[in-house]
Amino acid sequence: MFNIDSSVLIFGGAGTLGSSTALHLARKGFRNIHVLDVYPIPSAQSAGNDLNKIMGTSLRNPVDKQLSLEAEDMWSNDPTFSPFYHRSGRLDCCGSPDGIQDLRDTVAKLQQAGLGHTVEWLDTEAQIVQRVPQLAGSDIQGWKGIFFEKGGWLAAAKAIDSVGKELVRHGVKFSFGDSGVFDSLILSDDGKNCLGAVTKDGTRYLADRVVLASGAWTPSLVDLEDQCCSKAWVYAHMQLTPDEVKAYAGCPVVYNEDLGFFFEPNENGVIKVCDEFPGFTRYKMHQPFGSPKPISVSVPRSHARHPTDTYPHASEVTIRKAIAAFLPKFKDKELFNRAMCWCADTADANLLICEHPLWKNFFLATGDSGHSFKLLPIIGKHIVELLAGTLQKDMREAWRWRPGSGDARKSVRRASAKDLADLPGWKHESKE
Ligand code: FSA
């Protein structure tokens, strides 16, 4: 029986998938929700704790159309979320033959899904510049583009903070620090039922349902049998002058799969720039719960705990290359807040949201594959359906437990991720 009196523990509850789960439970009237995390909401080590994330329809997987439409509706109309949706538009653009083919494939997929009318194909540089005047004078020879009028960006950390405030209003219980960090499960005598969990400080919590939504940390907490590979992506910030801010205000998100992407300046005149690449792993021997012995697993390193970490020297080169291509005016600008942010890739880039096959009432919600922040308002609704046993079949199928079904280290990307151990330049303090 699962009803509003059931108790639910949500680890990673201060991040994207976890906070959304707590929100949907709270809105349904559940009175016994306990959010646990190492940092208070919005968790300083959540990938969602960021200036901005890209918003727009992306149809990678079978259930994406429904999720995209549901998310767009809530980002537009739900007061907890709508202040944080900036409808600047989004340009996907590329100059390489492979990149242009990918753009054409994207249009074809949208058309097949009946969403062809939501994008405009930009065939020439002039058409691109007409949509994004800030690209005039950039090195975009031969580029093609797709313009998503409806897309834009999300003020990510602020949106999770807004969820946190609503959770407080609903009376949700929180535990942060060592009493919020997952250590192990409490199992029934026959080992088949999850009865609760123990946290790092030894506190024992009993619950009807336990959800582990710890993002890129999940594979180091519970053995996921290689279904998720945690990888870091990088970003840097640059400060614009007031005149530059005026010129870039309202600029659509520009995304180039060969180079990277940038966002319009925020209220402090800061632009975030990212390069695009297959991510960085950090493999080490580690023993997650459920594994009888230490195994090789990519373990994130928290930027919140290691604030002087930056990114590898190689990232400075690729971020500078992206800036030189689409923000040439700013190519000599100082960069700051260089950092890594951790996501969990699955082999097929579908989420991993399912009950654990061995331990009933223990649920995983991870495998964001770098594209799930836009689902913040809606994903929790479906996670709650999973807890209640009512999740629709195509979602159950897409998000199922599926070890052995592919290579998460490569995922659907062009190449396998390189390991941080082989990349100098990012670690600026010796403490582990
Ligand atoms: O929703 C989107 O398409 C944004 S993806 C942003 C990104 O940095 C990727 O570019 C990267 O490859 C990784 O997946 C992390 O997220």
* pLDDT (0 to 100) of residue 246: 98
What does the pLDDT look like over 189-207, one tens digit per residue?
Answer: 999 999 999 999 999 999 9
Minimum-distance ligand 1 atom for the alpha carbon of 345: 14
Minimum-distance ligand 1 atom for the alpha carbon of 343: 15
Closest Cα to atom 12 of ligand 1: 276
**157 within 8 A of 52, measured Cβ to Cβ:** no
Cα distance between the two ends of the chain: 44
pLDDT at 430 over 80: no
Pocket test for ligand 1, best of 61, 72, 106, 233 (most atoms within 8 A of CB): 233
pLDDT at 350 over 70: yes
Closest Cα to atom 9 of ligand 1: 370
* pLDDT (0 to 100) of residue 62: 83
What does the pLDDT look like over 282-337, one tens digit per residue?
Answer: 999 999 999 999 999 999 999 999 999 999 999 999 999 999 999 999 999 999 99
Minimum-distance ligand 1 atom for the alpha carbon of 235: 8
Specify which residues 156 forms β-bridges with.
none
CA-to-CA distance for 361 and 393, rounded, in angstroms? 19
CA-to-CA distance for 324 and 331, rounded, in angstroms? 5
Minimum-distance ligand 1 atom for the alpha carbon of 58: 3
Q: Quick one: average pLDDT of 391-408? A: 97
Q: What is the mean pLDDT of the chain?
A: 97
**179 within 8 A of 203, measured Cβ to Cβ:** yes
Ligand 1 binding residues, C-beta < 6 A: 54, 58, 233, 274, 276, 343, 370-371, 374
Minimum-distance ligand 1 atom for the alpha carbon of 56: 1
Closest Cα to atom 16 of ligand 1: 370
432 Cβ contact partners less than 8 Å away, ≥ 6 residues apart: none
**38 within 8 A of 16, measured Cβ to Cβ:** no
Closest Cα to atom 2 of ligand 1: 371
Dist. CA 327 → ligand 1 center (Å): 19
Minimum-distance ligand 1 atom for the alpha carbon of 341: 15
Tell me what percent of the residues of the chain surpass a pLDDT of 90: 97
pLDDT at 432 over 60: no
Dist. CA 260 → ligand 1 center (Å): 9
Domains of the chain: 7-89+150-422 (3.50.50.60)
Peptide bond into 42 cis (omega under 30): yes
DSSP string covering 352-415, please?
Answer: EEEE-SSSBTEEEEE--TT--GGGHHHHHHHHHHHHHT---HHHHHHTS--TTSS-TTTTTSSS
Dist. CA 373 → ligand 1 center (Å): 10
3-state percent breakdown (helix, strand, coil) of the chain, nearest 5 = 30, 25, 40
Q: What is the ipTM of this complex?
A: 0.93
